[in-house]
Amino acid sequence: MLETQAYECPYCGEPVEAVLDLSAGDQQYIEDCPVCCRPIVFDVQTDGVQWSLDVRGENE
């Protein structure tokens, strides 16, 4: 269950896109911004049907 979600980097503000694997359930992980290379915390919440993505800087 892959979904694509656009978001803005909390550091540089550039629009980027993430591919989310919703089959793993709720998850939190860190990926570097493909533009400025700073670490972004991804927080994915899902109940199997609905889902949400929250991104924030590592020190927020």
Residue 1: predicted pLDDT: 82
Residue 48: predicted pLDDT: 78
* Global confidence as pTM: 0.88
Residue 49: predicted pLDDT: 85
Report the chain (60 residues): mean pLDDT per 10 consecutive residues. Answer: 94 96 93 97 92 94
Amino acid occupying residue 1: M
Give the integer Cα–Cα distance in Å for 2 and 11.
26
Residue 60: predicted pLDDT: 85
Amino acid occupying residue 30: I
